[in-house]
Amino acid sequence: MSPGTQALVLDFGGVISRTLFETHALTEEALSLPRGTLTWRGPFDLVSDPLWRDMQADKLSERDYWMVRTREVGALVGERWDRMETFVQRARGADPEAAIRPEALAAIEAARRAGCRLAILSNELDLFYGAGFRQRLPFMSAFDVVVDATHTGILKPDARAYQQCLDQLGLPADACVFVDDQLRNIAGAQRVGLRTVHFDVMHPGASYAQALSMLGVSSSLSF
Q: What residues does 121 pair with on adjacent strands?
A: 147
Hey, how many other C-beta atoms are within 10 angstroms of the C-beta on 143?
Answer: 18
pLDDT, residue 128, reads 77
In 44-83, alpha helices (H): 50-56, 62-76
pLDDT, residue 34, reads 97
- Could you report the average pLDDT of every consecutive run of 10 residues in the chain (223 residues)? 78 94 90 96 93 92 91 97 88 79 97 97 86 86 96 96 98 98 95 98 96 92 69
7-17+100-214 fold = Rossmann fold (3.40.50)
Please state, in angstroms and rounded to a whole number, the distance separating the CA atoms of residues 110 and 49. 36
pLDDT, residue 37, reads 97
Domain boundary assignment for the chain: 7-17+100-214, 24-96
pTM > 0.95: yes or no: no
Backbone dihedral region of 194: left (phi > 0), alpha (psi from -120 to 50 degrees) or beta? Answer: beta
Proportion of the chain above pLDDT 70, given as a percent = 97
- Residue 15 in 3-state DSSP? coil
pLDDT, residue 198, reads 98
Please state, in angstroms and rounded to a whole number, the distance separating the CA atoms of residues 71 and 75. 6
Phi, psi (deg, nearest 5) at residue 183: -60, -35
pLDDT, residue 175, reads 98
For residue 157, whether the previous peptide bond is cis, meaning omega lies within 30 degrees of 0, is yes
pLDDT, residue 62, reads 81
DSSP designation for 59: S
pLDDT, residue 2, reads 44
CB proximity list for 33: less than 8 A, separation 6 or greater: 27, 76, 77
Please state, in angstroms and rounded to a whole number, the distance separating the CA atoms of residues 195 and 33. 42
